[in-house]
Amino acid sequence: MSEPFSIERLHADSPHLPTVTAWTFAMWGHLHPGQTFEQALDETRGECGARGVPSLFVALEHGEPVGTASLIAEDMPHRPELSPWLASVFVVPSRRGRQIASQLVRRVEQEARANAIERLYLYTPDQQALYQRLGWQPVARDQCRGEDVTIMSRTFDRHGDAQ
């Protein structure tokens, strides 16, 4: 039996781009004071790469977006030595609890491995348990744009296998 949702690469001309941007702008826009929705839309469009970094993925259920996650070069301005990042993992509230976030994370990991990326990072203020279940390890506690967060990483060997 197939999954009730699919995960696809989001392209810059996708009709789903405004929806995905609206989610991330509503969830994390406060981390970018002064940024307008139009600026956020341009930034999201810039994350729609053809492969590797950057890449943006969307979970679709019956053709409608229900979640997103991205692979980006930089997500913590004061930690430029850490790159690339799993970022913007979001699932609409009515669809949570169905493994969509986990599958989005796995899709970003797959993209990283396919592009010879050996280590990914993320930061989260409150979802450490989810990521640890998926094999991510805490690296450090930090602050990002005024929030206390945990930096986590996932390492792959040179053959792309998770370590």
Look up residue 19 and give its amino acid: T
Q: Would you give the distance in Å from CA 3 to the centre of its chain? A: 20
The model's pLDDT over 96-126, given as tens digits with 9 standing for 90+, comes to: 999 999 999 999 999 999 999 999 999 999 9
- Please report whether residue 70 resides in a domain: yes
Q: How confident is the model at residue 86 (pLDDT cuts 50, 70, 90)?
A: very high
Q: Quick one: average pLDDT of 130-143?
A: 96
- Please report whether residue 159 resides in a domain: no
- Indicate whether this model's pTM tops 0.85: yes
Residue 38 φ/ψ, nearest 5 degrees? -65, -40
- Please report whether residue 139 resides in a domain: no
Q: What is the CATH number of the domain that holds 55?
A: 3.40.630.30
Q: How confident is the model at residue 2 (pLDDT cuts 50, 70, 90)?
A: very low
Q: Residue 161 above 70 pLDDT?
A: no
Average pLDDT of every residue of the chain: 92
The model's pLDDT over 43-76, given as tens digits with 9 standing for 90+, comes to: 999 999 999 999 999 999 999 999 999 999 999 9
- Please report whether residue 79 resides in a domain: yes
Strand pairing partners for 162? Answer: 156
Q: Residue 159 above 90 pLDDT?
A: no
Q: Which domain holds residue 80?
A: 6-116
pLDDT of residue 60: 97
- Please report whether residue 133 resides in a domain: no
The tally of domains found in the chain comes to 1
The model's pLDDT over 14-39, given as tens digits with 9 standing for 90+, comes to: 999 999 999 999 998 888 889 999 99
Cα–Cα distance for residue pair 91/68, rounded to 1 Å: 7
Q: Quick count: other Cβ atoms within 10 Å of Cβ 50?
A: 9
The fraction of the chain above a pLDDT of 70, given in percent, is 94
Cα–Cα distance for residue pair 131/43, rounded to 1 Å: 25
Cα–Cα distance for residue pair 133/3, rounded to 1 Å: 21
- Please report whether residue 25 resides in a domain: yes
Q: Where are the alpha helices (DSSP H) in the chain?
A: 17-28, 37-46, 100-114, 128-133
- Give Cα separations from 128 to 30, 46, 91 (angstroms): 21, 28, 16
The fraction of the chain above a pLDDT of 90, given in percent, is 86
- Please report whether residue 141 resides in a domain: no
- Please report whether residue 31 resides in a domain: yes
